[in-house]
Amino acid sequence: MKKAFLLFAAIVPALCFAQQQFTIKGSLSKLKGAATVYLMYQTPTSTVFDTAKLVNGNFVLKGNVKDPRKGMLILARGTKTLSDATTVEMKEFYLENGLVTLKGTDSIGKATITGGKANTDLRKWAAMSGTNADDVDIKVAETFIRNNPASWTSLDLVLAPVRMQKDGELMEKLFETLSPELRNSERGLAYAEKCRLKNALKPGLPAPEITGFTQDGKPIKLSDFRGKIVLLDFWASWCKPCREVGPKLEEAFEKYKDKGFVVLGVTMNTEKEKAAWIKAIGEDHITWPQMADGKGFQGEIAKTYQISILPQSALIDKDGTYLGIGMVGEKLYEWLDKLLAR
């Protein structure tokens, strides 16, 4: 019994740590007229909105997040609905365990937020960079991250989309300097997986395997076509540009199919859209093989090949080597003539 109690006692702190219970107490002492305060923040699966009632300029918001994350307080004036507001002000801050206090007069944008280490770090970053925005000089961001490896602001600077696009390799290196808590957080693990997939998808490396089902429900996988040059054509029935590319793909398929070339259509249609996918195959007279996993952009196929926009394509060599993306038109012909001439 004592051992069981000790085990329970050891587990309880971990369970408590799993959720950040936040309370936001705000005071706008000179606020006049009708206004509503909204709270907005992102979870891995959705955008969360909450609303606070203002009483003599005071409001309270409560909730839970898995770990400290950025939120936005929005003051909408002159209406009870955000979309019809006459003016809107915003204040970025961190939702974290414990009490966060906002104090101001009649402006939420100029108000001061205190409470919690994450918000202290955010103020430090604002003072250092001159802004809360993520798109600042990379050297300033790098200095902050290296000097504050346990700061959630550092993690969010690494994860900022503009940084990942412009300075991806540096951000990956800086990510490795962050504390274990940040690297093993929900957002940290998701970033590490995204980096792993990106680094596995480089020309000259083996093309990652993908599996799914045909329009007839039969199993199909990329490696089924080993020994042929494969063009992965990522498309969807609702994607007009994808379907406009169809005649060009058909031309290439007919020209090279007897020389060891195949197009493998990979749809981003979901299981609910299966009928529309099958209908589009018929309408467009598509004769090359088709694959789906039924999960669209949320599926393993899209994640593995980092498909976020359509149309998209990828070329795979006979031995399964990944050659690159965006192979269409004359560029595709040049590649095929070169590869098939070997």
Q: What is the pLDDT of residue 163?
A: 65
Q: 221 and 333, same structural domain?
A: yes
Residue 94's Cα: distance from chain center in Å?
Answer: 19
pTM for this prediction = 0.69
Q: 310 and 285, same structural domain?
A: yes
Cβ neighbour number for residue 187 with a 10 Å cutoff: 20
Q: Which two tokens stand for residue 28?
A: 């706008």
- Over residues 95-106, the mean pLDDT reads 95
pLDDT exceeds 90 at position 179: yes
- Of 144, 178, 200, the one marking the end of a domain is 200
If one counts the domains in the chain, the total is: 3
- Over residues 34-62, the mean pLDDT reads 91
Q: Model confidence over 63-72: pLDDT tens digits?
A: 999 899 999 9
CA angle 308, 314, 320 (to 5 degrees): 130
> Per the domain annotation, does 8 fall within a domain?
no
- DSSP letters, 68-79, are -EEEEEEEEESS
- Over residues 140-146, the mean pLDDT reads 94
Residue type, 249: L
DSSP character at residue 1: -
Task: Tell me the percentage of the chain whose pLDDT exceeds 90.
Answer: 65
Q: Which two tokens stand for residue 299?
A: 């599926």
Local structure of 260: helix, strand or coil? coil
- Of 200, 222, 244, the one marking the end of a domain is 200
**Between the CA of residue 80 and those of 9, 36, 85, what are the distances in Å?**
47, 6, 8
Local structure of 208: helix, strand or coil? coil
Domain that holds residue 223: 211-340
Indicate the pLDDT class of residue 37, thresholds 50, 70 and 90: very high
Residue 222: give its domain's CATH number. Answer: 3.40.30.10
pLDDT exceeds 80 at position 5: no
Q: What is the pLDDT of residue 342?
A: 72
Q: What is the pLDDT of residue 333?
A: 77
Q: 153 and 62, same structural domain?
A: no
Indicate the pLDDT class of residue 16, thresholds 50, 70 and 90: very low
User: What are the two backbone dihedrals, phi and then psi, of residue 232, each rounded to the nearest 5 degrees?
Assistant: -80, 120
Q: Are 73 and 102 in contact (CB under 8 A)?
A: yes
Task: Tell me the percentage of the chain whose pLDDT exceeds 70.
Answer: 90
Integer Cα distance of 90 and 39 in angstroms: 10
Local structure of 145: helix, strand or coil? helix
